[in-house]
Structure 1
Amino acid sequence: MAHAEFVHLRVHTAYSLSEGAIHVKDLVKQCVGLHMPAVAMTDTDNIFAGLEFSTYAAEAGIQPIIGVTLHVKNPFKKQDGQKKAPPPADELVLLAQSEQGYKNLLRLVSRAHLESDPQYGVQLPLDAFEGLSDGIICLTGGPTGPVGSLLLGGQKDDAEECLKVLSGHFPERLYVELLRHGEQAEEAIEEDLLDFAYKYDLPIVATNRPYFVSTDMYQAHDTLLCMADGTYVAETNRRKLNSDYRFKSAEEMAVLFKDLPEAIENTVKIAKRCSYKVDKIPPLLPNFTRGLDLSEADMLRDETIKGLNERLDFKVNEEGLERTNKDGWEEEYWQRLEYELGIINEMGFPGYFLIVADFIQWAKDHDIPVGPGRGSGAGSLVAWALKITDLDPLRFSLLFERFLNPERVSMPDFDIDFCQDKRERVIKYVQEKYGADHVAQIITFGKLQARAVVKACGRVMQQPYPVTDRLSKLIPNDPGNAMTLAEAIKSETRLQSEIDSDDLTRQVIDRALKLEGLYAHSSTHAAGVVIGDRPLDQLVPLYRDPKSDMPVTQFNMKWVEQAGLVKFDFLGLKTLTVLDRAVHYVQDRGIDIDLAAVPLDDGPSYELLAKGESAGVFQLESTGMRAVLKGLQPDKFEDIIAIVALYRPGPMANIPTYVDRKHGREEVEYPHQMLEEILGETYGVIIYQEQVMQIAQVLSGYSLGEADLLRRAMGKKIAAEMEKQRARFCSGAEERGIPKEKASYIFDLVAKFAEYGFNKSHAAAYALVAYHTAFMKANYPAEFMAAIMTLDLSNTDKLSAFKQELQRMEVPLLLPDINASGVYFTVEKAPEAYCEDDDPRHNLGVRYALAAIKGVGEKAMESVVAEREKNGPFKDIFDFADRIDPKLMNKRQLEKLAAAGAFDSLVTDRAQAFAASEIIMRTAQMAAQERESNQVSLFGDETGVRTERLSLPVVKAWTDTEKLDHERKAVGFYVSAHPLDVYETILERERIVPAREVFSDEGLIGQEIRMAGAILGYRESTSKKTGRKFGALTLSDRTDAFELMVFENELEFTRALVDDGAPLVVTVQIRKREDDDMVRLSCRSMESLEQVAAQSSKGLIITLAKSDSVAGMRAALERKAGGKGRVTVRIPVHDNKRIAEVRVPGRFKVTPDLKQAIAAERGVLEVEEI
């Protein structure tokens, strides 16, 4: 079929963020459907989709034209005398005509982003085209172009001059652009543009500006513009396009420009001139040995030989071996080294290894923790020798071919974990070493997700907020497995009901469905960094992320590699930061620890894991994992590797088999006796991808490179490839005496495991981090917990769980103290009551961090701690007020500090300290003014000592319940006590089972019991299996936190109790899942603990000091009338010589807060529950 006689030269894809609504693949599909031979992608100020568009268009037989709609400064525009800002920038459409034009486009777009003043947006001066316009076709931009905007502004002469300048920059490559969307501005300038074109013999070209594919998308796109601009759909004075901004057919365009057919014809001529297509570029890396008299291969050999000798020397010292001069036990290492070097050099990657080794060694030399490895890289002996990784691959049977396969050429890919606080320093080093213009981070794009797009559409369509909020909350929110809006509508009947019952809701959802998945914003990839052998703008367009001082590639991770750049992952791993901080806490006590030298057989570490006490331990901290550890009873490092690999959906089903075989409860079996050496370590269970490869090698004669291809084929389950591999596998096995039927059975068995098999190199590397974490927790518990809590400073849920863990470990968590706490969690000697022996590990506590108090801010607390360290502890609350910076502190922060107990050492009554916040602020402000004016204090003598005492307000002291409630609100959980403390008698009477007992007593499995707890959290989800809703309620008692499942029929009642926030008594069913050995709690019923207390208590006996103390007590009782308990009052009579007992009429709800309220009244000596 003949192709269409029109080509779109000005298309905005979804990469014109929050502006375009055409996905790249949809653009290509549209061109194919309309028989258009070519199309130009001209997104606003970017080439984000350059390679993606070029690749997909070419694959579909469409000529891709890479272009950009670029904003330029117009030097001819007159400055508005009343405005300081320069005139708005105009638009030019630039199309890459050739390879040189494409490279110039890259540089121009990069300059526009990197050199523009952020406050005025991306724009380029016209003179920037000098020397950078070759190979570029320029369209004048219509009414938004520099010529058109001058005409609209009444500057016709300037418009003509501007056209001459553009013609000079783009000789024989400038086209006068005409647009007909029915806009008044287009019509106003068309005649002048045609006059200019004919006067200067410039060709004209017709363009349309598609932002969406068809009219069906018009209203949704209009909504998108409102979302971007912060306007409402109903507004009239806003940016608004008409439905002509769609992807029109050639026939429509021909009719539209029937009076100017040459404008249509020129679109095809331009397409023929733009014949360049971007091709994939092989990897480009800096020459590491440039300027040196040796090759990268020679340097790599020298460095690995040196490094391996150092590693083997350490191995000798650690294991008591003797060096054997490359024979004996050493021979395998040297042979493996030669093998790996040969492959690395043959594939051309020695420079890659040298670059990685260099920045890792720099990090280690500068006290920046580096992870022992990540991914398959730990399987390389060369990497181990270069100190890139810290696991001996031979000792743990890790395979090089899993990392770098000589039979499948692809770039090696080391993912490097660094301490998250110091990662930026390593990237800075790389910039300095290779040049700032050779290094960049990688862009990522955030899409409009279901919940967000519904909220955004609802907002701009002025749907009442409660309605939009309700709609969005009906969409399940699972970040790990995000549900689309269409899926949510299908699974959530309430959402469909809302759509059916309200017309506005239907419109909101309809538009949200069309906008979902469009790109909303760009940001920087968390880890990816590229290093080039030349300035990067010669290979990719660059972008500036306002949050980063590094340039960012405009191509994302997938496409940046197609452009020849090699990605290095600089990952920030929080656990390394935790370990680093914990080690420094230990060093503060004069103890040096080198985690890399810690032996892998530390008894306390395995004992901790075997008890399931792994909260906070990397990879091993989940409730389910802790249950597995208790069943596994790990006693060797290989057990940790195995459980890291097994504890995932799929392979998790093999955990019971692994555990039972380890402990002799099940016989170890192997698919074939030849596999005992491979599978012996894992008791016959195939766990690792490397085992799959080794099985193919041993049974069927595969090379390890071939075996890696087999592993991949099994993982992808492509039928044709699997049958081909089956034939190869069985043939090789038969050659080794294994019957074909048996070989085919083993192939199927291996394929089943290969589907879920885990990379052993990665598992081993992360197992080592897990082991180091367990080592620190077992041997230095206070330091470890202070470190891990510091890294979760603002996560109150985690801090609450860690508080429970400290309690279990009998490590005291000391209240925040303005005179003792640091900004972060610290370690200090525990109060005498906690010190049981002379072992310093048992005599330490964790002091609560000031900055962990909600709403006080790190910066303010840094200033407080700095002042205290400089000038000594605060003597009293007004000394504190005199010395703080009132610019960094406010009334609310002071209230939070008081509520958390931080002023307890200065003011004994928290209620009084809380009420004094305004006085403290006024005092602080006056003191600051005096300091600034160098005046003598109004309240002090010449020494600065306060002589006049300001008064604290007189207020009623908080009850214990009120004190705890204020503490919880300030900290996020209870520190000094627990809400259940006051219910101790009731809990015993009602036979409430503590959480710790539930999780440790196997005899309770299958039973129904009663538990109690304060509410920590509640969420609702929808089961993917049944489609029914369920709740997950997290409670905390005095021994542990626990989660229970609430079924659909209990949800409404649960919501009411959760909203009330009071402690609960829950009847639960305890069960255990067979596949992961995890204890599960299902809620059968629940009720308020206070209600249980009121129903179970028989009454109170109140002893008064004198008979006139009854009034306040009576008021407290009246508030609790109508219960079951009786109250007896003991009153002294006859000059305190006798005690009279008086029964108070009526019955009362006897609860802890009633007891506290009565005990707080003056004249009450004792309140006893009966």
Structure 2
Amino acid sequence: MSKSFTLLNTHSHYSLLSALPKIPDLVAKAKKEGMSALALTDNGNLYGAIEFYKECKKEGIKPILGIDCYLAARTRHDKVGGIDNKRTRFILLAKNEDGYRNLIKISTASHLEGFYYKPRVDLELLEQYKDGLIAIVPFGASELAQALRMKDEARAKTFLEKLSGIFGSDLRLGIGSEKTTKDTEELLPAVQALSASLHISLVVVEPVFYLEPEDKPARDTMLLVSAGGDPREREEHNEQEHLFPSASELAARFARFPDALAETSRVADECNLKLALGKWVFPHIDTGGVAPDEALRAAVEAGYARREIQRTPEAEKRVAYELDIIAKKGYAPYFLVVADLLRFAHERGILTTIRGSVAGSLATYLAGITNVNPLEYKLPFERFLNPERPSAPDIDMDFADNRRDEMIEYAKQKYGADKVAQIGTFGTMMARGSVRDVARAMGFDYTTGDRIAKLIPFGSQGFPMSIARAFELVPELAKLYKDDDETKQIIDMAKKIEGCARHISVHAAGVVIAPTPLTDYAPLQLDPKGGKLITQYDMYAIEEAGLLKFDFLGIKNLSILADAVARAKELEGVTVDIENIPVDDKKTFEMLARGETEGLFQLNGAGMTRYLKELKPSRIQDINAMVALYRPGPMETIPQYIERKHNPRLISYLDPRLQSILADSYGVITYQDDVLLTAIHLAGYSWLEVDKLRKAMGKKIPAEMEAQRVKLIEGFVKNGATKEKAEKLWRLIEPFAAYGFNKAHAASYGKVAYQTAYMKANFPAIYMSAVLTADSGDVERIGEIVAECKRMDIAVLPPSVNESFSGFTVVKKIGEIDRIRFGLTTIKNFGEGVAQSIIAERAARGQFKNLSDFLERVKDKNLNKKALEALIKSGAMDEFGERGALFANMELLLQYGKESAERSSASLFSALPASVGLRLVDSPPATQEEKLGWEKELLGLYVSGHPLDKFRHILEKREVNIRRAKEEYKEGMTVVVAGILQEVKTIITKKNEIMAFLNLADFSGSIEVVVFPRVWNEHKTLFSPDALVALKGRISNRNNTVSMVAEKAKALSA
């Protein structure tokens, strides 16, 4: 029976929050049931089409691609509430490649034109793209059922006749066992009659949303998680309706309809889609009639002079070798497009850098694509491309994040708006998120789910954390699961939905550029949140569909660099050529040795800062090495790297042949390239073999790693190493199994890191003002940066109506040290419009002489009571008077401003009296506590002072410092810190006890503090917002976040 039946309406987890099965599980179930074909029809999309096609092919099952469409009540363009949110269902299946291409176009149009709560199709769209498609009207969920329930057989017949006129013999009438209403069974005779009279074959369509009976509670939970979903999507259904049926179940269920059951196989026989996956196409670029290979060669040749590189035999041989590989693989158009994009960026002054292994190419450096000379840094080209590597080239472009959209807009203008889109990506229900979602859906309070979720560690890039893995890493979680029934319920359910797609969004960097309209290759839609055009396929499916990903990643530090360079020219008249700054700048390395790393790219943070102070870097290679080593695994070798730098006598090599590979890193394996070159030179690997080694290490799959271990050790022994030495070599390599940086990537990022350090060391106030502006939306970060400025003896002042611009500003005065002013738009409750009015008036007529001058000249309608109060309290009007006095005279100031505006707008014949000047009523000054409170309220932090000022001397004398505690104290060490409590959050534990989470801040930064019930009960009277306390406790470093567990507390008193 199973081989003569095909399921034509199955759904995967890509029917977001409606279906449970992941595609491998869905296909495996079909194979287990002996099915020879299977259709995937996710709700309104093609998200999983490519993955499903590949999985079916791998398992020997015929893949049928389709969509469970939403059919609009009227047309797809109509969007009237109460009418057009009513829709019915309609199934489309691709018979062949034409049908698949039409599915893409229909799905795209349903999202871009027909989206109204759901992506909708209409008859016009179906008529336009009908070729190659089989259409099924699923009776119970269709307009047909609605008509028959209303006894309107004429409407039912007309509906089917219209569809028959579009699809002809490719139209089927679907029946299933769903019981959406009590009268469905009663309507079946009428359906059969219509089928017979209109010669439309009946076919069984069983909607599948989960695989096993025990999955039903998980699927129901998933529907409850679907916040804001259509209630009809969350209706309770019995198991027969949405469970993957067995052959015997189907035979019994449809015994009355043998022809309809057999029709499923006839439909499957008609569907014979064959996709040629993985055959890449490149965007068209005008090369003036010259072949792409020759155009690239010409660009490379011109680069010798531009880069001032000598044409040595070594360089020319390498360039010829690289260009030959690129030509043979047909990648020249891809390189030319990248070069064109970067040319535009450079012409527009948009800072860029290139990540990844492409920096190992001399040809790309000469062509102006990469910024690092691979000869200078000894970077291998083969890590990027080699004759044996089958995967496509991957050139990751980083742009200043505030100008990334300009780059995408240029790509649209140059290559066609219909040929460019950003790549979609799927947010999945990861370990922590699934626990929280499930707890909420099951009716538990927030703290229950949050408490369990917080025990699950964060994953790392490329290695997401799973619940199963968390059990291995956190004994406390495993114990809680064993001992607590609620925890067990939540985790068992979370495991069922873990990894399911939750939503689609925009990939952080990925962009596709096609030679013809994108809908020739992939379905499109709008990003649900931002409205950007994105592909329905993720980056893996996009590559299979034939399009190579272009990475347009926005990097904040490039924006900071560009801003700092512009400010240096504007304020000091210095033109900084950031790409050609000296790489041996003494100030830069001295600053890094002091640990002044706040605001630097890749070099900040407590742990990195501690290592830099120990390392005292003296060359850019040291920075590259730290960028590479400061990762899980390789981090273990940092102390050894530091020791060998300071004591060269410690440098040794396990094998003499390693010296040529590791000499620049003091004999320490530092980069992924070191591992690969070791395998080549000491174990006889080819580049194809090391590529497999690299992938195995990246996946970190134990079985694959063990196979590589055995092979590598055999290779070491075969090439002259003893078994003991071979084992030692493996132990050197193993820490890089998952996290090793490739050397070219480290060199590229190391260069940007050095550039940020150079600007900070040589233009300190200018650079820090750029950092403050970039981070102006993050109050905590602003506090950390201001603390760094103070350590650097750079005064950070409150805003000023006479000196501030929109963002943070450097104030330069002859004979004075540069200072930084808060910007006007950094003031809470103060809008951009009135800020620009103040700046424009100042630019036109000079600074404001006094308070009355300000009130008379600034006439913006938004300078109301709330805005004026914000200016006064933040300190922006300090030069006009004491804050407390100005605040006490608010009504008088507002009245004066109103009268001034009236005088200004009066005609020449007005009888209004002239101004008699502004006299304030005497009022007591604001206390220091009031001023600091106002600054905290409106600027987010204390600026003109700090509540801890009276304790500063003793805290500094005793070296009580939060920043130092976070940088220098390791896991479990006892530390004393003191500060002001910025936040106090209490929760009730399972034992009905109170515990708390605090945020404690001092001059240097802040730290999260956990207070367990015993300590809370002992010291709870001390823990209130804005209280000054000293705490003793242990350092905790979970998920790379340094916090503290309090053991004792004491109030600070003068």
Q: Which amino acid aligns with 1:653?
A: E
Q: Match of 1:383?
A: 364
8 Å CA contact 1:882–1:924 kept in 2: the answer is no
Structure 1 Cα separation of the partners of residues 409 and 78 of structure 2: 41
1:115-194 equivalences under 5 Å are 115-116=113-114, 118-119=115-116, 121-152=118-149, 155-184=152-181, 186-187=184-185, 189-194=187-192
8 Å CA contact 1:143–1:189 kept in 2: the answer is no
Q: Match of 1:605?
A: 588
8 Å CA contact 1:7–1:250 kept in 2: the answer is no
Q: Match of 1:876?
A: 851
Structure 2 Cα separation of the partners of residues 458 and 814 of structure 1: 47
Q: Does 1:216 align with 2:214?
A: yes
8 Å CA contact 1:1031–1:1051 kept in 2: the answer is no
8 Å CA contact 2:984–2:996 kept in 1: the answer is yes
In structure 2, relative to structure 1, the CA distance for the partners of 1:545 and 1:998 (3 Å cut) is closer
Q: Which amino acid aligns with 1:936?
A: A
Q: Deviations over 1:1021-1053 (max 9, x none)?
A: 9xxxxxxx9999764444x33658768687536
Q: Match of 2:659?
A: 676
Q: Match of 2:318?
A: 336
Aligned with 1:786 (options 769, 773, 791): 769
Q: Does 1:288 align with 2:285?
A: yes
In structure 2, relative to structure 1, the CA distance for the partners of 1:793 and 1:1051 (3 Å cut) is farther
Number of equivalences: 1034
In structure 2, relative to structure 1, the CA distance for the partners of 1:551 and 1:149 (3 Å cut) is farther
Q: Displacement of 1:725 after TM fit?
A: 4.1
In structure 2, relative to structure 1, the CA distance for the partners of 1:902 and 1:49 (3 Å cut) is same
Q: Displacement of 1:550 after TM fit?
A: 4.7
8 Å CA contact 2:6–2:264 kept in 1: the answer is yes
Q: Displacement of 1:523 after TM fit?
A: 0.7
Please give the TM-score of this superposition, normalised by the length of structure 1.
0.79
Q: Does 1:520 align with 2:502?
A: yes
Q: Which amino acid aligns with 1:636?
A: R
Q: Which amino acid aligns with 2:303?
A: G
Q: Which amino acid aligns with 2:376?
A: R
Structure 1 Cα separation of the partners of residues 267 and 151 of structure 2: 31
In structure 2, relative to structure 1, the CA distance for the partners of 1:1071 and 1:707 (3 Å cut) is closer
Q: Which amino acid aligns with 2:570?
A: D
Structure 2 Cα separation of the partners of residues 188 and 552 of structure 1: 45
Structure 1 Cα separation of the partners of residues 118 and 11 of structure 2: 19
Give the stretch that moved more between structures: 33-42 or 864-873: 864-873
Aligned with 1:900 (options 853, 857, 874): 874
Q: Which amino acid aligns with 1:628?
A: Y
8 Å CA contact 1:877–1:907 kept in 2: the answer is no
Q: Displacement of 1:949 after TM fit?
A: 6.1
8 Å CA contact 1:232–1:461 kept in 2: the answer is no
8 Å CA contact 1:180–1:187 kept in 2: the answer is no
Secondary structure of 2:506's aligned partner = strand
In structure 2, relative to structure 1, the CA distance for the partners of 1:162 and 1:890 (3 Å cut) is farther
Instruction: Name the Cα RMSD after superposition.
Output: 4.3
Structure 2 Cα separation of the partners of residues 1005 and 84 of structure 1: 59
Structure 1 Cα separation of the partners of residues 464 and 292 of structure 2: 46
Q: Match of 1:1153?
A: none
Structure showing greater Rg? 1
8 Å CA contact 1:18–1:228 kept in 2: the answer is yes
Q: Match of 1:256?
A: 253
Q: Displacement of 1:267 after TM fit?
A: 1.5
Q: Displacement of 1:363 after TM fit?
A: 0.8
Structure 2 Cα separation of the partners of residues 1003 and 132 of structure 1: 66
In structure 2, relative to structure 1, the CA distance for the partners of 1:451 and 1:1011 (3 Å cut) is closer
Q: Match of 1:431?
A: 412
Q: Does 1:352 align with 2:352?
A: no
8 Å CA contact 2:1031–2:1047 kept in 1: the answer is yes
Q: Displacement of 1:958 after TM fit?
A: 3.8
Q: Match of 2:707?
A: 720
8 Å CA contact 1:109–1:542 kept in 2: the answer is yes
Q: Match of 1:1041?
A: 1005
Q: Deviations over 1:302-361 (max 9, x none)?
A: 1111112321x2x5xxxxxxx5xx4xxx22111111111111111221111111111111
Q: Does 1:936 align with 2:906?
A: yes
In structure 2, relative to structure 1, the CA distance for the partners of 1:26 and 1:466 (3 Å cut) is closer
Give the stretch that moved more between structures: 43-52 or 654-663: 654-663
Q: Does 1:965 align with 2:948?
A: no
Give the stretch that moved more between structures: 144-153 or 1044-1053: 1044-1053
Q: Which amino acid aligns with 2:409?
A: K
Structure 2 Cα separation of the partners of residues 23 and 336 of structure 1: 47
Give the stretch that moved more between structures: 693-702 or 815-824: 693-702
Structure 2 Cα separation of the partners of residues 357 and 540 of structure 1: 25
Aligned with 2:979 (options 989, 995, 1013): 1013
Q: Match of 1:60?
A: 59
Structure 2 Cα separation of the partners of residues 223 and 698 of structure 1: 55
Structure 2 Cα separation of the partners of residues 443 and 406 of structure 1: 31
Structure 2 Cα separation of the partners of residues 144 and 639 of structure 1: 66
8 Å CA contact 2:609–2:967 kept in 1: the answer is no
Q: Match of 1:418?
A: 399
Q: Deviations over 1:568-606 (max 9, x none)?
A: 110001110000001111111221111111111111111
Q: Which amino acid aligns with 2:135?
A: C
8 Å CA contact 1:447–1:518 kept in 2: the answer is yes
1:1064-1143 equivalences under 5 Å are 1064-1067=1029-1032, 1085-1090=1048-1053, 1093=1054
Aligned with 1:307 (options 303, 306, 321): 303
8 Å CA contact 1:74–1:126 kept in 2: the answer is no
8 Å CA contact 1:1068–1:1085 kept in 2: the answer is yes
Q: Displacement of 1:551 after TM fit?
A: 2.7
Structure 2 Cα separation of the partners of residues 149 and 541 of structure 1: 31
Q: Match of 2:991?
A: none
Q: Displacement of 1:26 after TM fit?
A: 2.6
Secondary structure of 2:601's aligned partner = coil
Q: Which amino acid aligns with 2:298?
A: D
Aligned with 1:583 (options 565, 570, 578): 565
Give the unaligned 5+ runs of structure 1. Answer: 316-322, 836-842, 1022-1028, 1094-1170
Q: Does 1:405 align with 2:359?
A: no
Structure 2 Cα separation of the partners of residues 289 and 237 of structure 1: 50
Q: Deviations over 1:873-913 (max 9, x none)?
A: 56538955994655x67766655544322333345224752
1:692-1091 equivalences under 5 Å are 692-699=675-682, 707-709=690-692, 718-731=705-718, 733-734=719-720, 740=722, 744=726, 747-748=729-730, 751-752=733-734, 754-755=736-737, 757-829=740-812, 835=816, 843-854=817-828, 856=830, 858=832, 861-862=835-836, 865-866=839-840, 869=843, 876=851, 880=855, 883=858, 895-910=869-884, 913=887, 936=906, 957-983=925-951, 992-995=958-961, 1011-1015=977-981, 1035-1038=1000-1003, 1040-1041=1004-1005, 1043=1007, 1052=1016, 1057-1067=1022-1032, 1085-1090=1048-1053
Q: Does 1:652 align with 2:649?
A: no
Q: Displacement of 1:947 after TM fit?
A: 5.5
Q: Match of 2:519?
A: 537
1:86-97 equivalences under 5 Å are 86=84, 88-97=86-95
8 Å CA contact 2:787–2:1005 kept in 1: the answer is yes
Q: Displacement of 1:638 after TM fit?
A: 1.3
Q: Match of 2:421?
A: 440
Q: Deviations over 1:661-705 (max 9, x none)?
A: 222274221223343333222121121232334445555665656
Structure 2 Cα separation of the partners of residues 529 and 1019 of structure 1: 42
In structure 2, relative to structure 1, the CA distance for the partners of 1:911 and 1:567 (3 Å cut) is farther
Q: Displacement of 1:180 after TM fit?
A: 2.9
Q: Which amino acid aligns with 2:588?
A: S
In structure 2, relative to structure 1, the CA distance for the partners of 1:1058 and 1:646 (3 Å cut) is farther
8 Å CA contact 1:1012–1:1066 kept in 2: the answer is yes
Structure 2 Cα separation of the partners of residues 484 and 726 of structure 1: 31
Give the unaligned 5+ runs of structure 2. Answer: 988-993
Q: Which amino acid aligns with 2:705?
A: I
Q: Match of 1:1163?
A: none
Q: Deviations over 1:351-386 (max 9, x none)?
A: 111111111111111111111x21111100011011
Q: Give the fraction of aligned pairs with identical amino acids, expressed as a percent.
A: 33
In structure 2, relative to structure 1, the CA distance for the partners of 1:624 and 1:466 (3 Å cut) is closer
Q: Match of 1:1098?
A: none
